[in-house]
Amino acid sequence: MKEDFRTDRRAFLALAAAGGAAVALPGQTARAQAVSTSARIVIIGAGAAGTALANRLVRRLEGAQITLIDPRAEHLYQPGLSLVAAGLKPPGYVVSQTTDWLPRGVTLIPDRVAAVDPEIRTVDTEGGESLSYDYLVLAPGLVLDHDAIEGFSLDMVGRDGIGALYAGPDYAARTWEAASRFVEEGGRGLFTRPATEMKCAGAPLKHTFLIDDRLRRAGNRGAAEIVYAAPQGALFGVPIVAEKVRMLFGDRGIETRMNHTLQAIDPGRKIATFTDADGFAREEEYDYLHVIPPQRAPQFMFDSGLAWADRWTDQGWAEVDPATLRHARYPEIWAVGDVAGVPKGKTAASVKWQVPVVEDHLVATIQGGEGTETYNGYTSCPLITRIGRAMLIEFDYQNNLTPSFPGIIAPLEELWISWLMKEIALKATYNAMLRGDA
C-alpha cells in the first residue's frame, strides 16, 4: 500500500508536468507560416474530431473556406458519461455548446448531411443545401442503433431496471437512477456490450466495475449477482488487458457470459434474450440491465460508396489507409474519429493523435506535396476499476502497450493517479485538443 502511494505521488508529479506541457503546446502550433489557399474544405461533424481539426486548419491556412456541417447545437464530452451513470457527476458536466469551441473564420452549417457524391465532390444536407468541396473530411462519429435491440426503446431508460448510458447525458443520469435502485435493493445485474465495433470499448467494463463498487460501498454486494455478457470471446481486444480484467472479475465475483449477443428484451418479464456462439437463444433474468447497442456509421456513409466494401459491411466505416487516414479511392477525402475504418482507435484519445495526421496530409496536399505524419493506432482507455482507482491502458494497432509515462504509471495496475487521469486530467486535455492545442 505504501509503495502504491509512492508510485502515485511520483506519477502525480508526472501528471502535473504533463498538464504543463499541454498548456505550453499552443506556442508549438504557431509554427510555420500560414499557407495561402482558396481551397474549399468541408468537414462533416463538429464533434471531437471535426472541431479539433478546424481549429488546427485555421492556423495553418490563410484564405481557405472551411465549412463544418453538424446539426447538434450541444457539444458532448462523452468520456464523462460513465461518471454521470455512476452518480459521480451531474449531466451538465458533459454538455457545452458546439459554437463555444469553433474558431473564427469557419462557417458552421447547423444541418445534417444526407448524401455525399465523391465523384462530383458534393455534400448535400437534409435541409436541401448542396456544397461543393475541394477537400472533404469525414468526422460524423457514429450512430447508436438502439432499435436493433428488439423490445427496447430509449423511453424505458431509468425505469424497470434499464440503463443505457451511451445515449447521452440525460440518459446517463437516468441510467444512474435505475442502477442506484439496484445498488439499494440488490438482485441480478446484467451488463452488456454489442457485437459491432464501438467507441470506448472500456466503457462497458467501467460501468460494471463502478456499480460493483457502489454495491460494496452500500454494504449490499452480498445481495447482488453481477453478470457481464459480451458477444466476443475475450473481455478486451488486447489479450494482456483481457487477462487482467478476467482476474479482477474473478476477485470481485463478477460472472461472465462470453459469446453472448443481446438480441431482445422483455421489460414486463425482466428477461433479456441473447444468442450464443451456436446461434441458440439464451434467456437471462435481470433486475438491472445495462444496454449498449450496436454501433454503425451514419447512413450517408453506406450510400456514398465511401465505406469499406469487404470489411465491416454492416457498419459502414470509411475505407481509409490506417496510417494516413486518407481515403483509399478518393485522395481528396480523409476520415477522422469514430467513423474511420481502422482496426483500433474509437476514443477521444485516438482523435488527439489522428487529427495532426490529417492536418499534415491535407495541408501538404494543398501545397502540392505529400504529408509525412502517420497514426499508429494509439488508443487509450482509463479503465476505472472502482471509485478512486483506474488502469491507464494505452495501446496501438499491434496490441503493444504504449504507456505515456513508462516506469511511472504502470498500465495494468489499479492506481489513484490513473483515476485522476480520467476524473480530472482527461477533460482538460480533451478541451485543449478541441481548441487545437493538444
Ligand X SMILES: Cc1cc2nc3c(=O)[nH]c(=O)nc-3n(C[C@H](O)[C@H](O)[C@H](O)COP(=O)(O)OP(=O)(O)OC[C@H]3O[C@@H](n4cnc5c(N)ncnc54)[C@H](O)[C@@H]3O)c2cc1C
Residues 285-304 binding ligand X (CB under 6 A) are: 298, 300
- Closest residue to ligand X using C-beta atoms: 47
Cβ density class 342-365: b for 16+ within 10 Å, e for less? bebbbbbbbbbbbbbbbbbbbbeb
Among 140, 194, 231, 293, binds ligand X (CB under 6 A): 140
Among 186, 294, 316, 337, binds ligand X (CB under 6 A): 337
Nearest CA to 348 out of 139, 176, 58 is that of: 139
113 is an interface residue for ligand X by CB under 6 A: yes
Q: What would the DSSP string read from start to end of 338-374?
A: TTB--SS--SHHHHHHHHHHHHHHHHHHHTTS-----
* Distance in angstroms (rounded) separating the CA atoms of residues 417 and 13: 10
Among 37, 55, 78, 295, binds ligand X (CB under 6 A): 78
203 is an interface residue for ligand X by CB under 6 A: yes
359 is an interface residue for ligand X by CB under 6 A: no
Stretch that binds ligand X, among 180-188, 219-227, 326-334, 345-353 (CB under 6 A): 345-353
* Distance in angstroms (rounded) separating the CA atoms of residues 186 and 221: 7
Among 380, 385, 418, 429, binds ligand X (CB under 6 A): 380
Q: Residues near 221 by Cβ (< 8 Å), separated by ≥ 6? A: 212, 215, 253
* Distance in angstroms (rounded) separating the CA atoms of residues 75 and 55: 15
316 is an interface residue for ligand X by CB under 6 A: no
What x/- string results for residues 34 through 73 when contact with ligand X is judged by CB under 6 A? Answer: ----------xxxxxxx------------------xxxx-
Give the number of residues in contact with ligand X, rule: CB under 6 A. 37
Smaller CB separation from ligand X, 263 or 299: 299
Kindly state the cell numbers that stand for 126: 437534409
Q: What would the DSSP string read from start to end of 208-276?
A: HHHHHHHHHHTT-GGGEEEEEEESSSSSSSSHHHHHHHHHHHHHHTEEEEET-EEEEEETTTTEEEEE-
Place of cell 454501433: 295
Smaller CB separation from ligand X, 225 or 397: 397
Among 64, 139, 230, 357, binds ligand X (CB under 6 A): 139
192 is an interface residue for ligand X by CB under 6 A: no
Q: Supply the DSSP symbol for 34.
A: P
411 is an interface residue for ligand X by CB under 6 A: no
168 is an interface residue for ligand X by CB under 6 A: no
199 is an interface residue for ligand X by CB under 6 A: yes
* Interface with ligand X (CB under 6 A): 44-50, 69-72, 78-79, 81-82, 112-113, 139-141, 165-166, 199-200, 203, 298, 300, 337-338, 346-349, 351, 380-382
